[in-house]
Copies of this chain bind each other. A is one copy, B any other.
């Protein structure tokens, strides 16, 4: 008997919910219609998705998503749990197709959203998974018992490699643990990765020799796969300790390939995540997203910040960060740590240190503030200092 994987969806339909759930199961496993002759009962038994449960939640009068005009409603919302034999899929990209493929466009559904994913150990053990996680990140950065405090180079784009290095120098002098490129800065003609790495690592390596502490710099190498691997090698050779990618731009296949090649922690930016999650009856929740990204090998994962230039509720941001910190609990793992370090970023300033700590009850996180440092009225160093002090106060319980 095969092990199975489980997914929970919320769906909305003007038709019979049991039938809609069965259609989802058919579409995403053996066949979309029962009149396929070669779909024998034995084949269906072995490879078919099962409807594990259907629980009606509520009825609404108007459909959330456009649906053909022959459907008048009412529209029933229900929680649907499906399961599949793990043998149906051979890789993470195929898991993604199975969970979020054609069924998202079925005309019988006016809403479909993946909420939860549960995978058997046998599958997870064969995925790349984080090579460093929290433990490896702390080891490389030399920061223990507190968050990694850092920033994003600002302005987002437009700085030359030597201007970026000057900013990095000021930040190191100001006492940050972590610096990252903006997600919009990767390998433009005016700041090729190779040049930026040379200038920035020169500053970082010198400071490391002087201070005994190497600041972690996440170089954004989002690109075609060949270029990402090439740039990774440049960074590793220069003594860098982190690479960064925009997850939704490179895809699970790109990430998994980078991970199998990489000797550095992978910092995962989720730019564009809102597009996958912001419509409440479409896309997916963060739990399945972060699980797939971690299985593909991400070590740090952005969860937004409580200060919020983004749409998300604070409670949801904290929940996302807790998801990243939930271990996979795989036995006999030869990996250092399979948790991803949540990255609080995007509108975070000194004001959010206390609520972030009180919501997380842990310091296992990366806390970055772009505007809070580069926009600080007294300059970069004051920005860095105030951020560090805010976190010291938060952890010490000083208001």
Contact = CB atoms under 8 A, between A and B. Distances in A.
Given A272-B100, A278-B282, A311 B184 contact: no
A370 B66 CA distance: 25
Count the copies: 2
A97 interface: yes
A224 interface: yes
A101 B224 contact: no
Nearest to A28: B184
Contacts of A184: 28-29, 88, 94, 97-98, 101
Interface in A286-313: 304, 308-312
B39 A155 contact: yes
Interface in A213-255: 222-228, 246, 248-254
Interface string A9-22: 00000000000000
Interface residues of A, number: 96
A190 B104 CA distance: 27
Contacts of A159: 38, 43
Interface of A: 27-33, 35-39, 43-44, 46-47, 65-68, 87-94, 96-98, 100-102, 104-107, 109, 154-159, 163, 167, 183-184, 186-190, 222-228, 246, 248-254, 256-257, 260, 271-276, 278-280, 282-284, 304, 308-312, 346, 370-371, 374-375, 379
Given A67-B311, A225-B254, 5 more contacts: A93-B224, A96-B272, A100-B248, A105-B311, A226-B260
